[in-house]
């Protein structure tokens, strides 16, 4: 007597198996994309914070150098030349510093060296009347204000980059 065995030949997946696999794949893709977006957002914020920190260091370093009282053009030469002798607040976004060119200790806004700080279209620009140079000290400034009060020169500024806004204040002694 022969016994027939019936073999079920299966050449594919059932509709149920395909549906479950598609749902699981979709969940993995959604989770992976959420993680990728969060990681990308963190990178963008980190880059913005690093750029603002760099802009801040350059801006404050430049202000410190100029407000220190002299422009170190060379290691030798007259001690009194290029001493800070005057300042003029043109507006809350423009400040002029006068450095003595003829060593007489007086302010001469025509013949002395004038360093001008001016906010223009989100950039703080520093210009030098003697050398004729002009360069951008800082970018991405959404606010800048110079003020002089009670023996202090205060510079309030705010950087804005990629949705990140950071306010800062730089304070230095006014001229005697």
Q: What is the pLDDT of residues 92-125, one digit of tens each?
A: 999 999 998 888 888 999 999 999 999 999 999 9
Give the model's pLDDT for residue 53. Answer: 92
CA dist., res. 81 & res. 98, Å (int): 12
Residue at 34 is within a domain: no
How many domains would you assign to the chain?
1
Nearest partner of 115 among 57, 62, 55, judged by Cα:
62
Bridge-based pairing of strands 164-173 and 123-128 is unpaired
Torsion of CA 82, 83, 85, 90, to 10 degrees: 60
Residue at 7 is within a domain: no
What six digits make up the tokens of 45? 């914020």
Query: In degrees rounded to 5, what are phi and psi of residue 163?
Result: 85, -5
Query: In degrees rounded to 5, what are phi and psi of residue 148?
Result: -125, 120
User: Is residue 72 pLDDT above 70, yes or no?
Assistant: no
Tokens 């914070």 correspond to 49
Nearest partner of 115 among 105, 125, 106, judged by Cα:
125
Residue 8: band (very low, low, confident or very high) from pLDDT cuts 50, 70, 90: low
Which tops the pLDDT comparison, 78 or 59? Answer: 59
144-162 tens-digit pLDDT: 999 999 899 999 999 999 8
Residue at 108 is within a domain: yes
CA dist., res. 5 & res. 77, Å (int): 110
Give the model's pLDDT for residue 78. Answer: 61
User: Is residue 142 pLDDT above 60, yes or no?
Assistant: yes
Residue at 155 is within a domain: yes
Residue at 9 is within a domain: no
Residue at 99 is within a domain: yes
13-49 tens-digit pLDDT: 788 888 998 999 999 888 888 888 777 777 778 888 9
Task: Please give the distance of CA 150 from its chain centroid, rounded to a whole number.
Answer: 29
Give the model's pLDDT for residue 41. Answer: 74
Domain that holds residue 62: 49-70+79-173
Residue at 163 is within a domain: yes
What is this structure's pTM? 0.73
Residue at 125 is within a domain: yes
CA dist., res. 169 & res. 176, Å (int): 21
Give the model's pLDDT for residue 171. Answer: 95
Tokens 């060119």 correspond to 101
Nearest partner of 154 among 141, 168, 171, 167, judged by Cα:
171
Alpha-helical (H) ranges within 12-134 are 15-67
């Amino acid at each position: 007597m022969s016994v027939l065995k019936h073999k079920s030949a299966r050449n594919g997946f059932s509709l149920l198996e395909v549906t479950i696999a598609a749902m699981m794949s979709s969940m993995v893709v959604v989770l992976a994309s959420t993680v990728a977006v969060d990681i990308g957002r963190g990178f963008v914020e980190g880059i913005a914070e690093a750029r603002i920190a760099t802009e801040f260091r350059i801006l404050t370093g430049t202000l410190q150098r100029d407000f220190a009282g002299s422009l170190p053009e060379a290691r030798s030469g007259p001690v009194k030349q290029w001493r800070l002798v005057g300042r003029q607040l043109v507006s809350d976004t423009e400040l002029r510093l006068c450095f003595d060119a003829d060593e007489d200790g007086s302010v001469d806004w025509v013949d002395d060296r004038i360093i001008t700080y001016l906010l223009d279209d989100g950039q703080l620009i520093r210009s030098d009347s003697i050398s004729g140079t002009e360069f951008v000290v800082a970018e991405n400034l959404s606010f800048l204000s110079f003020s002089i009060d009670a023996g202090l020169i205060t510079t309030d500024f705010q950087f804005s980059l990629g949705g990140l806004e950071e306010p800062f204040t730089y304070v230095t002694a006014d001229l005697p």
